[in-house]
Amino acid sequence: MQIARSMAEIRSATAQARQNATSSDAESLALVPTMGALHAGHLELVRAAKATGAKVVTSIFVNPLQFGANEDLSRYPRDEAGDLAKLQAAGCDVAWLPGVDVMYPPGDATLISVGGPSAGFEGAARPGHFTGVATVVAKLFGQTGAGAAFFGAKDWQQVQVIRRMVEDLCLPVAINVVPTMREASGLAMSSRNRFLSDEERVVAPALYATLNDAAIRLRAGDKAADVLAQAEAALRARGFVPDYVSLVEARSLQPIAVLGAENRLLAAARLGSVRLLDNIEV
């Protein structure tokens, strides 16, 4: 596995990976963007990318631009040596580790804002977050020249924001969404899980269980407003502080009252100091 830390190194590493690729088409190079602190969910993205026959670039960059003023960037977990070992074992071809000065060199002045699916939910909870995400992902696309990218369904709203950007700017990148990896308990894998206490770990799987219960009732035809209110009440009863439990059109993230062709249940809830996200198809 090659490790690149500068623009010259990523240009050289991606050119070499392309040469070694069996196919010459654009999607012969795939990007897996991460913020490091890699868990099995990230490694599943690498495996899914490899399975297409592509050479895989995994980026690790804790992006200051997507953290709010009230969010603790310094608290974000970092484990470069551990991450590199995991990527190597997963068969990743290139690890792209740009510093902040490489991603945002002096004079950098371009921001990409995506309306539509970025409104509400995480966009409301974290002002500016999706502008930071869209901007850094566009940079990663440009830096690597990847023709495909792999994202986890866990951050559903993020995926829709990126899809929107790719469609609007006609970016030559195929967006692949990989199902959320879960612990045996059902808890969605997340780098935030390490901040849960032992007691909270016992309770945390209730978020996924509550979404599944709600989905069953929605499919059975129960009124969405009632189902969502009862899901929030169930979370509160287990000790969560729910931020939202919402039924939305899966692409636009517009709240819906009646099931349509593509539906998604989204939830965010605090458990102690940890804000947990999850979502499922309905």
CB 178, CB 151: distance < 8 Å: yes
Q: Which is nearer to a copy of itself, 235 or 253 (CB)?
A: 253
Residues 95-134 that bind a copy of itself (CB under 8 A): 107-118, 134
Residues 6+ apart with CB under 8 A from 117: 157, 160, 161, 163, 164, 251, 252, 253
**Annotated catalytic residue within 42, 50, 154, 164:** 42
Q: Which is nearer to a copy of itself, 65 or 276 (CB)?
A: 65
Considering only 12-20, 137-145, 199-207, 234-242, which stretch makes contact with a copy of itself by CB under 8 A? 137-145
Active site (annotated) includes residue 42 = yes
Say how many residues touch a copy of itself, by CB under 8 A. 27
Considering only 161-169, 182-190, 197-205, 272-280, which stretch makes contact with a copy of itself by CB under 8 A? 161-169
12 binds a copy of itself (CB under 8 A): no
Q: How far is the CB of 173 from a copy of itself (least distance, A)?
A: 10
With CB under 8 A as the contact rule, the residue among 55, 139, 192, 264 that binds a copy of itself is 139
Distance CA 258, CA 132 (A): 32
CB 279, CB 154: distance < 8 Å: yes
Q: How far is the CB of 107 from a copy of itself (least distance, A)?
A: 6
Q: How far is the CB of 216 from a copy of itself (least distance, A)?
A: 31
Q: Which of 159, 189, 31 is nearest to 96 (CA)?
A: 31
Q: Which is nearer to a copy of itself, 113 or 197 (CB)?
A: 113
Distance CA 119, CA 130 (A): 9
Q: How far is the CB of 276 from a copy of itself (least distance, A)?
A: 27
Amino acid occupying residue 279: N
Which string of DSSP letters, residue by residue, matches 120-158? STHHHHSTTHHHHHHHHHHHHHHHH--SEEEEEGGGHHH
Count CB-CB contacts under 10 A for residue 247.
23
CB 94, CB 56: distance < 8 Å: yes
Residues 213-272 that bind a copy of itself (CB under 8 A): 252
With CB under 8 A as the contact rule, the residue among 64, 142, 179, 260 that binds a copy of itself is 142
Q: Could you say which DSSP state residue 239 is in? A: T
Length of the chain equals 282
Residues that bind a copy of itself (CB under 8 A): 7, 107-118, 134, 138-139, 142-143, 145, 164-165, 168-172, 252
Catalytically active residues, by annotation: 42
